[in-house]
Amino acid sequence: MAKIEKDRPLPSHTKLDYDECYAKIVLEKFFPDQYENLQISDKPDLRDISNNIGIEVTSAIPQSEQEAMALACEIPYLEKEKQDKRIAYLKKKGYNYTQYGMTGPGMGYAWTGLDYPDIRNTWCKYFLSAVETKMKKLNTGGYASMKRYDLFVNSELFIDDWMPDELLKVLITYSQRPINYSFIYLLSLDGLFVFNLEKQTVSPVETGEKLYGLGMLARKMVEEGEEDD
């Protein structure tokens, strides 16, 4: 059983995965008519037993950024000498840590002429890569047989106005496999985007303050999972 200290970052390994708990809470809050009492499982990560729906959960946050964020979260709890060493290490990796937060390497894309740039050459490449990886895994076998499979992708991305339609075009090309995801949810810094690959549509869902407190609920689930033997 992992030891969880109050007001400290969660351990890296816990019985329940924080991202899966968070996805469960978000989906049940924003889509109560579509998902009912999601159960945390494996292959798929979440299961709606009543409706026979399986949901996989993944992240579009690059591994290097996840590692930097994890290191930064621990800094306030370290001794001064170790704090300085860690801050210096993060700076070498391109991250500037202060008591007010942390900034990382900038992301951008080139745009010349009147046409949109290739969406795969923007920061959305992290989302597309995460989706493609999950689609390939879904078709390798080992997953419980469900009526439908959906995918929830958490991210730290900003989605410009022109991007959702371009993302949809790429996702449709990914969906030429024997088993596909019906709905793909992208949680970004500026909203929740729902890609319906069966109807080939994308729609934004405003999140705003509705996400407030959901992270704490997910943490509570993780803590309670460690208490259960």
Residue 192: strand, helix, or coil: strand
Secondary structure letter of residue 3 according to DSSP: -
User: Which element (helix H / strand E) includes 25?
Assistant: helix 18-30
Name the CA radius of gyration of the chain, rounded.
19
CB 132 within 8 A of CB 125: no
Strands 148-154 and 53-59: parallel
pTM for the whole structure: 0.84
Note the pLDDT tens digit of each residue in 47-104.
999 999 999 999 998 776 767 676 666 777 778 887 778 788 677 777 787 877 766 6
Note the pLDDT tens digit of each residue in 139-152.
998 999 999 999 99
Q: Tokens representing 26? A: 């978000």
Torsion 86-87-90-92 (CA) sign: negative
pLDDT given for residue 107 in this prediction: 61
